[in-house]
Amino acid sequence: MPVTVKCLNCRKEFQVPPSKIEKRRFCSKRCFYEFRRKRVNKICQNCGKEFEVWQSRRDKAKFCSHECRLDYDRKTSVKIKRICQGCGKEFYIFPYRVKRGEGKFCSKKCASVNISQDLLFTAYWDLELSVRDCAKIFRCSATTIRQYLKKYHIPLRELGGVADVNLKPSKELAYILGVIFGDGYVGHTKKYGDRFIQLKVIDKQFADEFVVNLRRIGLKPYMKTIKPKKPNWKKIYYVRARSKQFYEWYKSLDLKTIETEYLINDDFRKEFIRGFYESEGHRAHSNIQMYNTNLKLLKLIKAQLEKLGFKVSIKTYTRRNRKPEHVLTVLGGKKEVLRFIQIINPITKN
């Protein structure tokens, strides 16, 4: 049954469904815009002057300016006791400054932490303390420790310790390369010089498989779940491993080197195609398709599939203001789809 509500602007009564009582506060758009244009006089709680605010802010506005609000806080609020993270002395500060993230140090001298290179190197490398543990010892933030590591050119450790990566041709390495050419990524952060391999997907099975293969070649990856920002979105599984050795090796590769040195037999080809298919592939009723904007890469995939006995075609689709997209299709109908699933054996999209 409709409910009767009074318009906030003209005070007329109108009816709305029960589910929209909180949202519908005006009888029309005209009343809504008129209400927004109205200005109301208020008295500043600090200086006592009269000032104007929009009607929509009549309950929130209490001061005529930002300076008055700060002055009011200084007059009325009581200072609270804090302990300096630099020298350990007690000092007093206003609560509003603590809310802004201040109140950690009693002076600028204490705030400007001076960490020696020898002490930091000993703590980080010899004692193998984490960045957070170093921050606790030197009484500063983890960000400050990372800045000093960069300043002194102290190299970062691999996650969980220094990893000796096996970069010889193998099934695991072929699979990892296939994933990286698809949804994966190898990069570095300019700020801290961090080299990493990462993958962001919504399929947990796929993420777990990538983690297993990274561990088999000697890397120490970790996986975390990123919560969806909206109710109808899915969880994202984020995999990351740090390795300068892998980064430099990967950046030195080209497609010809991969084909001649790392795809030397059918087992390596199957794993490479499996990694790429799980990233960029799609199974339809009568065909298998893989998408990418790199035509040379798809031609490499096509050559490997033909060596496994499949018939393959590549088509290019162009869109306005976008890069041309290339689509690789495995031909032969439903029988070839089933044969592809049997031979490649993907853990997803099967």
**The amino acid at 107:** S
Distance, CA of 97 to CA of 84 (rounded, Å): 14
pTM assigned to the model? 0.58
Distance, CA of 105 to CA of 88 (rounded, Å): 9
Using a 10 angstrom Cβ sphere, with 0-12 exposed, 13-18 middle and 19 or more buried, the burial of residue 194 is middle
Distance, CA of 8 to CA of 255 (rounded, Å): 68
Residue carrying the six token digits 């999209």: 349
Residue carrying the six token digits 């802004």: 100
C-alpha torsion 128→132→135→137, nearest 10: -60
pLDDT tens track for 311-328: 999 999 887 777 888 999
3-state secondary structure of 289: strand
Least confident range from 16-20, 74-78, 176-180: namely: 74-78
Section 147-162 average pLDDT: 71
Which is it for the CA torsion 159, 165, 170, 173, positive or negative? positive
pLDDT band, very low/low/confident/very high, at 191 (cuts 50, 70, 90): low
Q: What is the DSSP letter of 318?
A: -
Q: Identify the structural domains of the chain with CATH numbers, from first to last.
A: 3-30 (no CATH), 42-75 (no CATH), 80-111 (no CATH), 117-151 (no CATH), 171-251 (3.10.28.10), 255-344 (3.10.28.10)
pLDDT tens track for 44-94: 988 888 888 877 777 788 888 888 888 887 777 778 888 887 677 888 888
Closest CA to 275 of 296, 295, 290, 259: 290
Q: Answer whether residue 331 shows pLDDT above 60.
A: yes
